[in-house]
Amino acid sequence: DAGVIQSPRHEVTEMGQEVTLRCKPISGHDYLFWYRQTMMRGLELLIYFNNNVPIDDSGMPEDRFSAKMPNASFSTLKIQPSEPRDSAVYFCASKRGQPMAGELFFGEGSRLTVL
Amino acid sequence: RKEVEQDPGPFNVPEGATVAFNCTYSNSASQSFFWYRQDCRKEPKLLMSVYSSGNEDGRFTAQLNRASQYISLLIRDSKLSDSATYLCVVVSGGYNKLIFGAGTRLAVHP
């Protein structure tokens, strides 16, 4: 089975540009998560979806960030406009609901650099 | 205060050593606990679950102390391949909101 697929793997952009990160979860998983990882702050939960519906977006830093899940096999995380402090590795992860609550499968991450 | 806190390390230990990591969490209503492992420039992967009664998986032992709100991971007979960052994970908000600690880095040397 294919794992969680993220694209792009690497992106370098200039401040002010729009960035769109994409994720395809594992088929059959009904939860999808977006995390951001930096050296300073570790792995932060940004938002998660259940059956394509956003459940908790309290971790989204500000209005410049938005996430969508139009169907069960695709999600996007958009940053507009991007800033240098957004530089991080963004991970998408998916899992089945209970009872396997802790088995979270991560993609390889999208490494974003904003100049 | 962060919801999940860990000592960032690094822990530098020789092969064969026993090393222990601790993690504290702030939400007393948290339901489930896990340890994940993250290799350098890779994604995190589930290492093991943590149960109140304690659980063991080979050289790895995980324990939970609900009264003190901390979780521990013990690694016996360390191998070079154990070098990684170990992330403590607490599940809150029902059974599906996974909160990660910042991780503890372990470096095992010959």
Contact between B46 and A103 using a beta-carbon 8 Å cutoff: yes
- pLDDT computed for residue B2 by the predictor: 82
Strand residues in B1-103 grouped as ranges (E): 4-6, 11-14, 19-25, 32-38, 45-50, 55-57, 60-65, 70-75, 84-92, 97-100
- pLDDT computed for residue A100 by the predictor: 53
Return the number of CB contacts < 8 Å for A and B: 59
Pick A56's closest partner by Cβ from B91, B93, B103: B93
A107 Cβ contact partners less than 8 Å away, ≥ 6 residues apart = A3, A4, A5, A6, A23, A91, A92, A93, B43
DSSP 8-state secondary structure symbol assigned to residue B2: -
Q: HSE-up of A21 (CA within 13 Å, CB side)?
A: 34
CA distance A16 to chain B (A): 27
Cβ count near B45 (within 10 Å): 15
Q: Is residue B51 over pLDDT 80?
A: yes
- Tokens standing for residue A107: 């993609």
Q: Is residue A2 over pLDDT 90?
A: no
A109 touches chain B (CB under 8 A): yes
A59 closest CA partner among A82, A77, A83: A77
Q: Is residue B95 over pLDDT 70?
A: no
Over the stretch A36-82, which tens digit does the pLDDT of each residue have? 999 888 999 999 999 999 999 999 988 999 999 999 999 999 999 99
Residues of A in contact with B49 (CB under 8 A): 102
B107 touches chain A (CB under 8 A): no
What's the mean pLDDT when you consider all of chain A?
A: 93
- Tokens standing for residue B59: 């050289």
